[in-house]
Structures are given as structure tokens and as C-alpha cells.
């Protein structure tokens, strides 16, 4: 679990020789100010247009997950946000979709270009925050924008209203929400163990288990009922995420444990479960 940090700066005014409008110190400070502002704009743009990443997924058994986790710790570190110093933490994502489940159908039909729209949190405490995310995919390439919002802000944005402050990632989320007329469709929850490593920590390996789906809740509280996903019952979903190319040790790990890629969409499987149980409103099941 990671957070988006805003980049701030404080202007410093100096007095004394050379500090006039045309002095060398003033010109130097102006250049520095311009540089800082340029870097800040690049930082904001990177939230909406992040680096292209790739991810590969595998369905494995728990004992295989344990063996792989023991193997990769020589190359990686546990995610700093794991509970109690471990690599583990819960993930709760509220997915949005159009009235006709356009995003669900794009995945089910294997569309080359598709995206997900979700609000993600890591607990159900009253004071929690959310990341509002747009995760887009074109073939094998992934990009993701995420903006941090309070619980109240998230309720407002999921209702269809606009944000009362400017954040490029939240603006991107609202734009896609409006284009789809999207509203909450399903909660997806699971336990995750995450590791980071590689040069500049550009490789991320996660193990997701106990994956379940629940109906959306208006107040963003935890659903009263969770339903397991039959396709991954008793299995762990291993994901390897990387930017550029992954290190040699990743390829060696894949060969060592004889891993085979598998298509895996938690949201698609979750909607399948809700449809099979006839739990979605009629305007969602068309």
C-alpha cells in the first residue's frame, strides 16, 4: 500500500546586497523558483500519466506461495505498510461500472483496450481514506492514476458530484466516471502479501488470497455479506508487476517454480458471482 505525496515548496525572501529586482541573487532565486514550479508540474502530471507498467499473473496453491515468498526475500523486501512488520495487509476495492456493466463486459470479451474504475481502502474504520483509481490497459501495458480522498470526499465523488479541490488524479477519475455514468457495482476484498525490489523498487510481487465479493454500500461501510469466488477457491493469485523489464532473478524464479500465466480478473469473477446469485439490480444485469 502506498500513498501519493504532494510536493510543496516555501518561498524564501532574503534581504541585503544583491537582493533587488535586478541583482544576481534575485535572478538566481527566480531561476530556482521556475525550476521548482516546473518540477511540481511534472510531479502532478506523473500522477495522471504514470510510467507504463506490465503485470503477469499466476494461480498457485498456498504451499507454492509460501515457497516462492521464502525464495524472493533474498531479492526483495516486505512492503513497508504490512501489518505488524509483515508483508500482509487487507485490500478493499469498490468498483464502479456503467448501468450496463460496460467495464465488466470489456474484460469478459477480452477487449484490447479497457480500464477499471475503483475506490480502494485498506480498512473499514470511520476515519479511513481512499485512493480513487483509474487503471487502464492496452494489451500488456498498464497505467494507473490514483488520487487520495477522505471518506466524505469519496462519498461525494461516488454520488456523481465534482471535487471541491483540484487534484489531477481526482479530475481524471471524475471524467471517466461521467463518461460512463458509472456508479458503484461491487466490493472486492482479499488479503495481500506484498514485496518490493529491483532497481529503484520497480518490481512488485503480490500474493492475494481469500478473495471475496460483496454488494456496494451507500455509506461505504463493509458489506453485511461476502461471497467467495469459486474460480480461485483455495488458491493464491500471484502477480508480478514491473516497469521496463524484470530482473534475471524473476525469470529464474518463474522457471524454478514452473509457473504458467493465467488470466485473472477479480472484478469480472466477482460480478459473475453476483449475476449467478441474481443479486444485481435489473438495470445492472442487462
The answer to whether the CB of 127 falls within 8 A of the CB of 152 is no
pLDDT in tens, 155-177: 999 999 998 899 999 999 999 99
The answer to whether the CB of 107 falls within 8 A of the CB of 114 is yes
Burial 163-201 (b: 16+ CB within 10 A, else e): beeebbbbebbbebbeebebbbbbbbbbebbbbbbbeee
Distance CA 229, CA 68 (A): 23
What's the distance, Cα to Cα, between the start and end of the chain in Å? 35
Q: Outline where DSSP puts E strands in the chain.
A: 53-60, 76-78, 88-97, 113-121, 129-138, 141-150, 183-197, 203-214, 227-228, 236-243
pLDDT at 7 over 60: no
Tell whether pTM > 0.75. yes
pLDDT in tens, 204-231: 999 999 999 999 999 999 999 999 999 9
- Tell me the backbone φ, ψ of residue 54, rounded to 5 degrees: -125, 150
Distance CA 148, CA 169 (A): 8
pLDDT of residue 285: 56
Residues 115, 144, 133, 286, Cα dihedral to 10°: 0
**Residue 82 — pLDDT band, cuts 50, 70, 90?**
confident
Say which DSSP state 248 is in. H
- Is the CA virtual torsion 146, 147, 153, 156 positive or negative? negative
Average pLDDT over residues 63-77: 96
pLDDT of residue 18: 40
For strands 76-78 and 53-60, give the pairing: unpaired
**Residue 9 — pLDDT band, cuts 50, 70, 90?**
very low
- Alpha helix stretches (DSSP H) within 113-218: 151-158, 168-180
Angle at 171 between CA 162 and CA 190, to 5 degrees: 95
- Tell me the backbone φ, ψ of residue 32, rounded to 5 degrees: -65, -45
Amino acid at each position: 500500500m502506498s500513498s501519493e505525496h504532494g510536493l510543496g515548496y516555501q518561498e524564501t525572501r532574503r534581504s541585503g546586497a544583491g537582493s533587488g529586482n535586478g541583482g544576481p541573487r534575485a535572478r538566481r532565486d527566480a531561476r530556482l523558483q521556475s525550476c521548482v514550479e516546473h518540477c511540481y508540474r511534472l510531479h502532478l502530471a506523473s500522477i495522471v500519466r504514470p510510467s507504463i507498467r506490465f503485470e503477469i499473473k499466476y494461480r498457485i496453491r498456498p504451499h507454492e506461495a509460501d515457497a516462492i515468498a521464502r525464495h524472493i526475500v533474498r531479492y526483495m523486501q516486505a512492503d513497508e505498510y504490512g501489518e505488524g512488520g509483515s508483508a500482509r495487509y487487507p485490500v478493499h476495492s469498490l468498483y464502479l461500472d456503467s448501468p450496463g456493466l460496460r467495464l465488466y463486459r470489456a474484460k469478459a470479451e477480452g477487449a484490447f483496450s479497457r480500464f477499471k474504475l475503483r475506490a480502494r481502502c485498506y480498512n473499514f474504520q470511520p476515519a479511513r481514506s481512499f485512493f480513487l483509481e483509474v487503471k487502464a490497459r492496452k494489451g500488456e501495458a498498464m497505467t494507473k492514476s490514483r488520487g487520495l480522498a477522505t471518506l466524505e470526499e469519496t462519498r461525494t465523488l461516488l454520488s456523481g458530484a465534482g471535487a471541491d479541490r483540484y487534484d489531477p488524479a481526482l479530475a481524471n477519475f471524475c471524467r471517466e466516471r461521467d463518461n460512463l455514468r458509472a456508479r458503484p457495482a461491487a466490493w472486492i476484498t482479499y488479503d495481500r502479501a506484498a514485496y518490493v525490489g529491483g532497481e529503484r523498487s520497480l518490481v512488485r510481487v503480490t500474493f492475494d488470497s481469500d478473495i471475496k465479493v460483496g454488494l456496494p454500500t451507500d455509506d461505504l461501510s463493509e458489506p453485511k455479506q461476502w461471497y467467495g469466488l469459486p474460480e480461485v477457491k483455495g488458491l493464491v493469485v500471484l502477480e508480478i508487476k514491473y516497469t521496463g523489464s524484470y530482473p534475471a532473478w524473476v525469470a529464474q524464479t518463474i522457471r524454478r517454480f514452473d509457473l504458467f500465466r493465467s488470466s485473472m480478473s477479480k472484478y469480472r469473477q466477482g460480478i459473475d458471482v453476483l449475476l449467478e446469485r441474481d443479486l444485481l439490480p435489473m438495470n445492472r444485469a442487462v
